[in-house]
Structure formats: C-alpha cells, structure tokens
A and B are shown apart, each in its own frame.
Chain A
Amino acid sequence: MTVDIRKQLHAGSGRIAMELQFDIRNGELFALFGPSGAGKTSVARMIAGLLAPDEGRIIVDNQLWFDQLQAVNLPPQRRDVGVVFQEYALFPNMTVRENVAYGLKKEQPENVVDELLDIMELGKMEKVKPAMLSGGQKQRVALARALARRPKVLLLDEPTSALDAALRVRMQHYIRTVHDQHQMTTLLITHDVTEVIRLADRVLVIEQGNVVTQGAARDVLPLDDLRSLL
C-alpha cells in the first residue's frame, strides 16, 4: 500500500497542514504512532474513503483507491477495507451475531461468522445486543465485524485505548492472532508505545501531520521511555 497525501486539517489545536508519504508492505502490521491531535485518525479515514485528501494518491495492491490528478476516489463500499472505529460503532439494533454477519459479502457462507465468534470468544454472547456488552467485548465484536469480509486492509483506530491494562493485552493478542491468520495488511493507530512494541512490524511516527521518523519499532521509539514502561 502506498499512501502519499496532503490535506489541510482543522484540529482542536488549530490548523494542521498534513503531508505524509509512506509504504506498507503486503501482510505487514504497521503502526501509526503519535500524540493525540497529530492527525492519525484522519489518515485512517482517508484510506477508508471517509475523508478525501486535498492532493495525492492512495494505491493498494496496484489498485488506485484515490488519485486527485486522475479524479479517482473510490467510495468506502468499493475499497476492500475493514475498519475498527475508536468508539466501536456497533449497530445498537442488532445482536452480536447480526453485527458480525452484516459485513458478510453475498457469496460468503454464514459459518464465517461462527468462526470469528469462536476466535473472539463471543459464542456465548451471539444473541446479546451491544448495550449489554462490556468495553472489551464490544471491541472484539467490532474487530470480528471488520474481519467478516476478509478485507485486504484492516484499519484499527486506537483499538485498545478504552480498555484497562489486562483487557488491553488480551485484545492485542486477538489482533496479532487474526492478523497472522488472515494475512492482511494492517494499519494500527495508537498513542501507546508498548502496543507498538508488542504488535507492530514497523512504525511511522507522526506529529502535526508530518513524518517524524519511521522504521522497526525498537529502532525508532525512545528506548528510555520504554524501559521505564516495561
């Protein structure tokens, strides 16, 4: 996946002139790391087709998803992408099973849902509505739902930020497991250093919409901070 985008953003802290260029290898678990307000969520939204960049291109597997010069901007429905939103965004009117099944493509068999509920250990809750679930359970449903279509690209926007420490580690385990099983390209958005170290193959550090540095997590992140954390 090649992302080369420019966009004027209006954040809480004022205007940000975002200018980003990065490549993610197929099958890689790639982290986008930075403080809140750096524009991380906007990057995910632009890849998902929910926000249009001002200029640039987004290419996934040789397919053009966005190109301002050629006036290409595929709608979200035609981008092969799964998104786990920061606030879960589960459908309140549907049960856990219905939420996950909502993402199925027409030709996919229903047992894809069973398999995902199994991996996420949600089998017992399949008939429950989201309002009855805990934060950790909601997040697993959101992940299962995003995976049902077997997307080429998985976007995870702060998937563990609302969880306590123990649940966070469990959720990270689920993320790593499904990423390896499904062999997707995964973009993980986070402001948590330990999460990057635990999960990511490579990381891009951004601040104010611009690249600070990128590379393997251990090389790039401030190790002193890490020692104190681990």
Chain B
Amino acid sequence: MVDPFILTLKLALISTLILFVISLPIAYALAFSSFRLKPLVEALVSLPLILPPSVLGFYLLLAFSPERGFGDFLQRYFDIRLVFTFPGLVISSVIYSLPFMVQPFQSGFRMIPRSLIEASYTLGRGRIDTLLHVLLPNMRAALITGSILAFAHTIGEFGVVLMIGGSIPGETRVVSIALYDEVQAMHYHSANIYAGILLAFSFVILVTVYTINQRFSNNLFRP
C-alpha cells in the first residue's frame, strides 16, 4: 500500500530536480531572445500540454524499445534499458512535465523590468551575475510555482507511465497505476484510499500555488 506512494514521490522529486536545471536555460532563451525557430521550440516544449499522454507514451515506447535504433544503441553500448524501468519513467516524466516548469519560468523572466537588467549591466555585472543576483531572486514566485506544478503534474501522470512503465511493483507501479489496478481487480476499498489521497494532495498543491502567487504579486515591483 505504501510502496506506490514512495515510488511516486521519488519519481516526482527526481524529475522536478532535473526539470529545474534544464528549464532555466530554456525559459531564459525563450524569454530574452528572438530567433527564427523560436515558435517551433515553444510549440515543442508546450506539446505535452495538449497531446494525449498515450500518444507521447507510444512514441517514447518506440524510441526506447531495445529492438530499434535509439533503444538498441543504449542497450548495446551502455547496457541501459529504458522500457519498463524507473530511469525510463524519469525521462518520460521530464518530457511530459516540461511545459509546467518552463512556462512559469518564462513569464517570471518576462515580469522583471528591463531597467533592472540594464542597471545590473551598467554596474559592471555580466549575464550570469545578473541571473543569479537580480533575476532569480526577483522571480521566486515563478520558480516555486513552476517547481510545484511540475512536481504535482508528475504525481498525476498516468497514460505515459502505463505505456512505458507498465505496473512493476517497486519499479514502475506509481499511485495512479496502482489505483487503476485496484479498480480492475474490483478492490474498491484500496482504490478509494489511493484516489482520496491523490485528490487531497492535488487540492493542497493548488491552494499552495495560489497562496504563493497572491503573496508575491502583492508587493513586488511597486515603483
């Protein structure tokens, strides 16, 4: 009963950490530069928002499959197998939750008045210094919101996990899958517990996000 919860939290935590690191540069580039292929990159990042998870899961299954190019390459040269494994789940979760992290970060970057960045430059500080000392500390709400949303979205993942992870206890059997299995087996009592906890958790997460947004948006950047 407890195992799926531990596995789900582990998956969400690891995915969120990886997402944080890769979303910052992506959001920075999307917020501050304009290049010809930018709409394409934005669309790719946002694709998981509207794509049925089973579609994403299907293509990841094809990509990770050891019988084909990429999966075969990983298996042969690195002895890594991604289908029906926890690392495979992590990679899919990162792709699946990417827009939930990138979009808040991107709007966080855009909210910072241009003059703050310019002030930092005229004070002799480069891009990295400006990012660390001016941009990131002044977009804490966006950083927290993005991280919480990506974390929560990973917890709620179902379709992708079903396609790529199956339901291996301790390896890929996350809460949403466990719930599905219990319903299939007509164990409605356990199903109820899984569902109730997920529902309460999702609600608490959203209340937290909205509380943070309210607190931060009230007192920043007043001239």
- A residues touching B (Cβ–Cβ < 8 Å)? 48-50, 75-77, 79, 81-83, 85, 87-94, 102-103, 105, 131, 145-146, 148-149
Instruction: State whether A77 touches B118 (Cβ < 8 A).
Output: no
User: Is A87 touching B126 in the complex (CB atoms < 8 A)?
Assistant: no
Which of B120, B124, B126, B220 is in CB contact (< 8 Å) with A92? B220
Within 8 A of A (CB), among B94-124: 113, 115-116, 118-124
Q: Name which residue of chain B comes closest to A155, CB basis.
A: B122
Interface centre among A79, A82, A83, A89 (most CB of B within 10 A): A89
Residue contact B123 to A103, C-beta cutoff 8 Å: yes
In the assembled complex, B221 has its CB within 8 A of some CB on chain A:
yes
The A-B contact count (CB < 8 A) is: 65
Q: Is the interface of A mostly helix, strand, loop or mixed?
A: loop
> Assuming A85-B115, A89-B119, what are 17 further A-B pairs, CB within 8 angstroms?
A48-B118, A49-B122, A50-B121, A76-B121, A77-B122, A83-B122, A87-B223, A88-B223, A89-B113, A90-B119, A91-B116, A91-B138, A92-B221, A103-B123, A131-B220, A148-B123, A149-B123
Q: Are B137 and A93 in contact (CB under 8 A)?
A: yes
Closest residue of chain B to A77, judged by CB?
Answer: B124
Q: Which residue of A lies closest to B127 (CB)?
A: A77
Are B122 and A92 in contact, with the CB atoms below 8 A? Answer: no
Say what secondary structure dominates the interface of chain B: helix
The chain A residue with its CB closest to the CB of B123 is A103
Closest residue of chain B to A130 (Cβ to Cβ) is: B222
Specify which of A48, A77, A87, A94 is in contact with B125 (CB 8 Å cutoff). A77
**Is B124 a contact partner of A103 (Cβ separation < 8 A)?**
yes
Interface size on B, residues (CB 8 A): 21
Tell me whether B118 and A91 are in contact (CB under 8 A): no
CA distance A93 to B134 in the complex (A): 8
CB distance from B24 to the nearest CB of A (A): 17
Taking the nearest CB of chain A, how far is it from the CB of B138, in angstroms?
A: 5
From known contacts A87-B115, A88-B223, infer whether A50 and B137 are also in contact, taking CB-CB under 8 Å.
Answer: no
- B115, B118, B123, B138: the one contacting A102 at CB < 8 Å is B123
Q: B38 within 8 Å of A by Cβ? A: no
> Is the Cβ of B121 less than 8 Å from the Cβ of A105?
no
Is B187 in contact with chain A by the CB < 8 A criterion?
Answer: no
The residue of chain B having its C-beta at the shortest distance from the C-beta of A91 within the complex is: B134
Q: Which residues of A contact B120 (CB under 8 A)?
A: 91, 102
Quick one: closest A residue to B136, CB to CB? Answer: A93
With A85-B115, A92-B220, A102-B133 known as contacts, the answer to whether A75 contacts B121 (CB < 8 A) is yes
Alpha-carbon separation in the docked complex, A77 to B130 (Å): 11
Please tell me which one of the listed residues B116, B121, B138 contacts residue A77 in the complex, with CB atoms under 8 A apart. B121
CA distance A159 to B118 in the complex (A): 17
Inside 8 A of B138's CB, which chain A residues have their CB? 91-93
